[in-house]
């Protein structure tokens, strides 16, 4: 039987560079599968249906909630965001490590539901850098940027709920750092129960 993959939740302030980081991680290593979320937010320029998000109306999103089609969902700066269940379960069962790039309320719900999830928080080196990155992205109005920065203040209070805290200063270093974390997690005794059982059984032939 294929070994079950690791569920990795990546959160971080809006503008922390999570998107670029995840793209690079998936580009370098083939053990990862990125979950595509559903949202009621309008597409940004260049975003493609089914690649960045599944863009939904409020009604369609609420139907997904009612049909229990989401592992978790949350409201973020006035819009719904949620993780479709089927893809995640399918990929984990096939042995891929699944990455959810979601905000903090969703991260907490996933951890509650699946306690062996790895929660990783990505931060820019400092607050000024965060503001600069958000402004340079040029896709949001000044009001939305302000709401996102205000949200960052709240999110910073929840970082202790995470397992790992990673600074995204240099992209290359950060990608390697995240990958090493996942590789180390794979060696946890709690994830290797079947292998441990097997080796114990095999060793029994040597017992006197
Ligand atoms: P953005 O609008 O910048 O694409 O995303 C806003 C926030 O929503 C980000 O922090 C992003 O990680 C989070 N997000 C994206 N998809 C999901 C999801 O499926 N569930 C939750 N809880 N948050 C999500």
Average pLDDT over residues 67-84: 96
pLDDT over 70 at 43, yes or no:
yes
The reply to whether 177 falls in a domain is yes
Return the beta strands (E) in 35-181 as ranges: 37-39, 53-55, 70-76, 79-84, 97-101, 118-123, 164-167
Whether ligand 1 lies within 6 angstroms of the CB of 186 is answered as no
Of all residues in the chain, what percent carry a pLDDT higher than 70? Answer: 99
User: How does pLDDT run across 26-36, given as a tens digit for each residue?
Assistant: 999 999 999 99
The protein residue with its alpha carbon nearest to ligand 1, atom 24, reads: 102
Whether ligand 1 lies within 6 angstroms of the CB of 82 is answered as yes
CA 44 to centroid of ligand 1, rounded, Å: 13
The protein residue with its alpha carbon nearest to ligand 1, atom 12, reads: 102
Q: Which residues have C-beta within 8 Å of that of residue 51, sequence separation ≥ 6?
A: 36
Domain count, the chain: 1
CB 8 within 8 A of CB 31: no
The reply to whether 41 falls in a domain is no
The reply to whether 71 falls in a domain is no
Rg of the chain in Å (alpha carbons) = 19
Name the burial class of residue 134, with classes exposed (0-12), middle (13-18) and buried (19+) by CB atoms within 10 angstroms of its CB.
buried
CB 86 within 8 A of CB 69: yes
Structural domain harbouring 144: 7-35+97-206
Confidence grade of residue 129 (pLDDT, cut at 50, 70, 90): confident
The protein residue with its alpha carbon nearest to ligand 1, atom 14, reads: 102
C-alpha separations of 185 from 10, 63, 84, 99 in Å: 15, 36, 24, 14
Q: What is the pLDDT of residue 136?
A: 85
pLDDT over 60 at 153, yes or no:
yes
Whether ligand 1 lies within 6 angstroms of the CB of 61 is answered as no
Whether ligand 1 lies within 6 angstroms of the CB of 81 is answered as yes
Q: What is the pLDDT of residue 1?
A: 47
**β 7-12/37-39 pair status:** unpaired
The reply to whether 56 falls in a domain is no
Q: What is the pLDDT of residue 2?
A: 57
Q: What is the pLDDT of residue 78?
A: 92
Average pLDDT, the chain: 93
């Amino acid at each position: 039987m294929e070994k079950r993959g690791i569920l990795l939740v990546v959160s971080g302030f809006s503008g922390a560079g999570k998107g670029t980081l995840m793209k690079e991680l998936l580009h370098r290593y083939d053990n990862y599968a990125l979950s595509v979320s559903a949202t009621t937010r309008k597409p940004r320029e260049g975003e493609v249906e089914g690649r960045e998000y599944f863009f939904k109306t409020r009604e369609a999103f609420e139907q997904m909630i009612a049909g229990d089609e989401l592992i978790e969902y949350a409201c973020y700066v006035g819009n719904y965001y949620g993780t479709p269940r089927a893809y995640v379960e399918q990929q984990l069962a096939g042995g891929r490590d699944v990455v959810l790039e979601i905000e903090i309320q969703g991260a907490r719900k996933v951890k509650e539901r699946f306690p062996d999830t790895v929660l990783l928080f990505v931060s820019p080196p400092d607050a000024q850098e965060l503001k600069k990155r958000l402004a340079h992205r040029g896709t949001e109005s000044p009001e939305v940027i302000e709401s996102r920065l205000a949200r960052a203040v709240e999110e910073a209070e929840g970082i202790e709920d995470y397992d790992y805290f990673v600074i995204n200063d240099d992209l290359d270093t950060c990608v390697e750092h995240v990958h090493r974390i996942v590789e180390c997690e794979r060696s946890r005794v709690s994830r290797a129960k079947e292998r441990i059982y097997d080796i114990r059984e095999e060793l029994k032939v040597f017992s006197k």
